[in-house]
Structure 1
Amino acid sequence: MTPPRILSIAGSDSSGGAGIQADIKTITMLGGYAMTAICALTAQDTTGVSMVAASSAAMVAAQIDACVGDIGVDAVKIGMLGSPDIAEVVAERLAGLGVPIVFDPVMIATSGAALADAATIAAFERLMALATLTTPNVPELAALGGDAAMARRGIAYLAKGGDADGAEVIDRLVMPGEAERCWTAPRIATRHTHGTGCTLSSAIATLLGMGLPIDEAVEDAREFVRAALLAAPGFGKGHGPLGHQAVR
Structure 2
Amino acid sequence: MALKDTFYISHGSPTLSIDESIPARKFLEKWKKDVFEQRPTSILIISGHWDTAVPTVNVIQTINDTIYDFYGFPRPMYQLKYPAPGAPNLAKRVKELLNKSGFNRVAEDEKRGLDHGAWVPLMLMYPEADIPVCQLSVQSNKDGTYHYNLGKALAPLKDEGVLIIGSGSAVHNLRAISHHGSVAPWALEFDNWLKDALLEGRYEDVNHYEQKAPHARKAHPSPDHFYPLHVAIGAAGDDSKAKLIHSSIEHGTLSYASYQFTSNSN
Q: What TM-score, normalized to structure 2?
A: 0.28
Q: What TM-score, normalized to structure 1?
A: 0.29
Greater relative contact order (CA < 8 Å, ≥ 6 in sequence) = 2
